[in-house]
């Protein structure tokens, strides 16, 4: 959510037709890298029985975008003034975790 990174994203998105390789590199080193790290964490949690998932890669993508989508879209479309304060980002992330676990956590036994 740094202004410099948001500006770079806007620029690359605007030029994706002319520079698709640049967009691919930015995606691979940004969102895809984060999703891959989350997937690895989910695999470890699944291996020890804490978060068994049928498809850790898909779950990682869902989790990433639950956390990122709303604040990122607002900042991308409305400019740097729309970047939420850190406390708001933390609340949003906590709510995204709650939603994710509601959908993906194994049921608890009574």
- Alpha-carbon distance of 43 to 80, in angstroms, equals 35
pTM over 0.75: yes
Structure tokens at 75: 């900042």
Domain spans of the chain? 3-104
- Region at 66 (left for phi over 0; alpha for psi -120 to 50; beta for the rest): alpha
Per-residue confidence band for 110, with pLDDT thresholds at 50, 70 and 90: low
- Alpha-carbon distance of 72 to 51, in angstroms, equals 27
Q: What is the pLDDT of residues 50-74, one digit of tens each?
A: 999 999 999 999 999 999 999 999 9
Q: What is the pLDDT of residues 75-105, one digit of tens each?
A: 999 999 999 999 999 999 999 999 999 999 8
Vertex 34, ends 70 and 56: CA angle to 5°? 95
Summarize the confidence of residues 19-29 as an average pLDDT: 96
Contacts of 88 (CB under 8 A, 6+ apart): 71
């Amino acid at each position: 959510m740094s202004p410099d990174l948001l500006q770079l994203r806007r620029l690359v998105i605007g030029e994706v037709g002319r520079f698709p390789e640049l967009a691919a590199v930015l995606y691979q080193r940004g969102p895809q890298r984060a999703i891959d790290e989350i997937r690895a964490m989910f695999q470890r949690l699944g291996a020890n029985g804490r978060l068994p998932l049928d498809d850790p890669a898909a779950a990682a993508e869902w989790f990433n975008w639950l956390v990122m989508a709303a604040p990122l879209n607002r900042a991308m479309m409305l400019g740097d003034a729309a970047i939420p304060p850190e406390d708001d980002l933390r609340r949003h992330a906590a709510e995204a975790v709650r939603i994710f676990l509601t959908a993906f956590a194994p049921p608890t036994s009574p």
